[in-house]
Amino acid sequence: MLEKIQKMLTIRSSSVRVLLAEALGMYMLMVLGLSCAAQVVLGKGEFGHYLSINLGFGIGVTMGIHVAQGISGAHLNAAITLTHCILGNLPWRKLPAYLLGQFLGSFLAAATVFGLYYDALYDYTKGNFTVTGPTATASIFSTYPSPYMSLTGSFFTEFMATVILFLGILAIHDEKNNGALKGTQALLTGILVLGIGMGMGMNTGYAINPSRDLPPRIFTAIAGWGVDVFTAGHYWWWVPLVAPTLGSLVGGLTYKLFIDIHNQPVPECGNEKGQTDVESSTL
């Protein structure tokens, strides 16, 4: 009986399976990360500090990968998915399913955290949800540059942080090089994100992921923060979309040129088949 029910519930469309896996993995990542951000901001320093946010997103990435990796490869990042398409590691026809899943999971996570902390948000702001000012709370959900940052400096920060992110991910999953032990990739990727947050988070909040930043921003615009979420920081909102995408592509090409093409398996004598295919890296 249970086998029949399981068979009935099994989704045959690979695109739908990918969409749901990316959505659930992204939801896990974002709920853990945004919840930590909410506690730090709304708790006024009594329930965590900046490191708490770094740890929350690092743990969230680890758990999100564990949730989705078997079905979709757990990209959980629109910039990385797009880079895989550009590099030929992923068919373009699968791009919409990945992006929709990531954006859906991220949006629902923002709504969940909003619901979890609504009373605390209302108490902290007296019902006045703002992007800037002494009781600003929009940064719980999306990233914003520090007041001292120029738009150029902010763009460069996000670009470089994503270069490091994708270089690290490719190294972790490169079995021809010194890849991580099987089963440890998710943990090491989470540690990588933790390190990026600890070392490069001060300037812009290290979005490094369009799927992490845009859906919660749209949610906050709807939920009471208004259009200021798009105009703040000299119209900062587009930077977490473009800079990580370019950074991911440059990171992928850099790893290919500096490491991958110099570390190909040597064909055996008489083997005319040539180089073997390389599976695309995950996250």
Q: Tell me the percentage of the chain whose pLDDT exceeds 70.
A: 93
Tell me how far apart the alpha carbons of residues 82 and 84 are, in angstroms, rounded to a whole number.
Answer: 5
CB neighbours of residue 261 within 10 Å: 9
CA 22, 23, 26: angle at the middle one, nearest 5? 80
Tokens of 251: 């990171």
pLDDT per residue over 195-252, tens digit each? 999 999 999 999 999 999 999 999 999 999 999 999 999 999 999 999 999 999 999 9
Name residue, tokens 């949610």. 219
Tokens of 264: 């190909």
pLDDT per residue over 149-195, tens digit each? 999 999 999 999 999 999 999 999 998 998 899 999 999 999 999 99
Confidence bin at 45 (pLDDT 50/70/90): confident
Tell me how far apart the alpha carbons of residues 188 and 184 are, in angstroms, rounded to a whole number.
Answer: 6
Q: Which domains does the chain have, with CATH numbers?
A: 13-262 (1.20.1080.10)
Q: Beta strands of the chain (E only): which ranges? A: none
Residues 6 or more apart in contact with residue 57 via CB below 8 angstroms? 29, 32, 33, 36, 193, 194, 197
Query: Does residue 271 surpass a pLDDT of 60?
Result: no
Tell me how far apart the alpha carbons of residues 203 and 27 are, in angstroms, rounded to a whole number.
Answer: 25
CB 145 within 8 A of CB 203: yes
Tell me how far apart the alpha carbons of residues 230 and 245 are, in angstroms, rounded to a whole number.
Answer: 19
CB 206 within 8 A of CB 197: yes
Query: Does residue 6 surpass a pLDDT of 90?
Result: no
